[in-house]
C-alpha cells in the first residue's frame, strides 16, 4: 500500500480550517439524526466516515453543502458561516463538490453537457472554455472518449467517474463523497476508488462516507466512526483499525471484515 504524504496540502494554502462544525444537531421530526457533532477539517485533509446504516454519516456530509439544514449548532465552511444563511449557502455550494451513491448525472444531457452546465450557468464561463476544462477533467478520470455520449450509454463505474469530473469542473475546494461505490458492480469499484486516490494524492480536501476500508487505510488521514447520530471514535487509520476503543466500533469492524 502506498503512503500518501501531506506535503501537497501545504500547496493549497496551509493547514487552515476548511470545515468547522460545532454542536451540530439535526432532527427529522422526532428522530434525532445528528447529536452534538463537533468536527474540524483542515485543508488537504482526507477523512473517511463509516458506521452502520442509519447512523447519520450521509446526513453529516449533506449538511456541509446544506442539502440538509440543521436545527442547532454552527457550520462554517472555508470561512463562510452556513448558519448565517444568505449568500453564504450559494458560495459554499459552489466551492464544494459532491458525488452521490446513485451518480445523479443529468440523463437528458451528454457527458460534456453534464460537465459544463454548472460552470456556464453558475460561474458564467464561456461554452468554449467550459468544454476545454471539462475535457481536461474527463481526461483525468480516464474517459475523454465518452464526452459525446449520454449517461445511459455508460457503465456504472464510468458514470460515477463522470460525476467526479462534473464536480471537479467547478474547481471545488472540498469534495464530498456519499457512498460513491455502494451502487456499483464489484468489478467497477476499483476504477472509481483509483480516481478518488488520484484526487487524494493531488491534495484535495475530501470527506468520504464509504464502506471501503481498504480505501480508508490507504488514503485517510483520519477515520471517523458514527453510530446513532454521534461521532463515537476518531483516529488515524492505524489507531482506528489496529486499536479500536469503542465497543460498538469493535462490533462494527468485526462485522464488515
For binding to another protein (CB under 8 A), which residues are involved?
65, 67, 90, 93-94, 96-98, 100, 102, 104-108, 117-118, 121-122, 151-152, 163, 166-167, 170, 176
CB of 114 to another protein, least distance (A): 9
Radius of gyration for the alpha carbons in the chain, expressed in angstroms and rounded: 18
Q: Which is nearer to another protein, 37 or 170 (CB)?
A: 170
- Partnered with residue 175 across adjacent β-strands are 97, 206
φ, ψ of residue 79 to 5 degrees: the values are 85, -5
Evaluate the CA torsion angle 101, 103, 106, 107 in order and state its sign: negative
Neighbouring residues of 253: CB distance < 8 A, sequence distance ≥ 6 = 241, 244
Q: Which is nearer to another protein, 22 or 95 (CB)?
A: 95
Q: Which is nearer to another protein, 56 or 151 (CB)?
A: 151
Q: Which is nearer to another protein, 7 or 152 (CB)?
A: 152
Q: Which is nearer to another protein, 9 or 110 (CB)?
A: 110
DSSP track, 82-151: GGG-THHHHHHHHHEEEE-TT----TTS-HHHHHHHHHHHHS---HHHHHHHHHHHHHHTT-GGGTTS-G
CB of 97 to another protein, least distance (A): 8
CB of 156 to another protein, least distance (A): 11
CB of 159 to another protein, least distance (A): 10
CB of 204 to another protein, least distance (A): 16
Q: Which is nearer to another protein, 90 or 187 (CB)?
A: 90
Cell numbers describing residue 180: 460513491
Q: Helices in the chain by DSSP H: which ranges?
A: 7-11, 57-64, 87-95, 111-122, 127-140, 156-168, 186-201, 213-219, 237-242, 247-256
CB of 179 to another protein, least distance (A): 13
Amino acid at each position: 500500500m502506498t503512503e500518501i504524504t501531506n506535503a501537497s496540502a501545504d500547496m493549497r494554502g496551509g493547514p487552515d480550517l476548511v470545515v468547522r462544525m460545532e454542536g451540530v444537531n439535526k432532527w427529522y421530526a422526532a428522530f434525532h439524526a445528528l447529536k452534538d457533532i463537533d468536527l474540524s477539517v483542515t485543508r488537504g485533509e482526507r477523512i473517511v466516515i463509516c458506521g452502520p446504516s442509519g447512523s447519520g454519516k450521509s446526513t453529516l456530509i449533506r449538511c456541509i453543502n446544506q442539502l440538509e439544514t440543521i436545527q442547532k449548532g454552527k457550520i462554517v465552511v472555508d470561512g463562510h458561516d452556513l448558519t448565517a444563511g444568505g449568500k453564504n449557502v450559494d458560495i459554499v455550494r459552489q466551492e464544494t463538490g459532491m458525488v452521490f451513491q446513485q451518480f445523479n448525472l443529468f440523463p437528458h444531457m451528454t457527458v460534456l453537457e453534464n460537465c459544463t452546465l454548472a460552470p456556464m450557468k453558475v460561474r458564467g464561463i464561456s461554452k468554449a472554455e467550459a468544454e476545454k476544462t471539462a475535457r481536461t477533467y474527463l481526461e483525468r478520470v480516464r474517459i475523454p472518449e465518452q464526452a459525446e455520449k449520454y449517461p445511459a450509454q455508460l457503465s456504472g463505474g464510468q458514470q460515477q467517474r463522470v460525476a467526479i469530473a462534473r464536480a471537479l469542473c467547478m474547481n471545488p475546494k472540498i469534495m464530498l463523497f456519499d457512498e460513491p461505490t455502494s451502487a456499483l458492480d464489484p468489478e467497477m469499484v476499483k476504477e472509481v476508488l483509483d480516481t478518488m486516490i488520484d484526487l487524494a494524492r493531488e491534495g484535495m480536501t475530501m470527506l468520504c462516507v464509504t464502506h471501503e476500508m481498504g480505501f480508508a487505510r490507504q488514503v485517510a488521514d483520519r477515520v471517523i466512526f458514527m453510530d446513532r447520530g454521534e461521532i463515537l471514535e476518531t483516529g488515524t487509520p492505524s489507531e482506528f483499525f489496529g486499536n479500536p476503543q469503542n465497543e460498538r466500533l469493535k462490533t462494527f469492524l468485526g462485522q464488515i471484515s
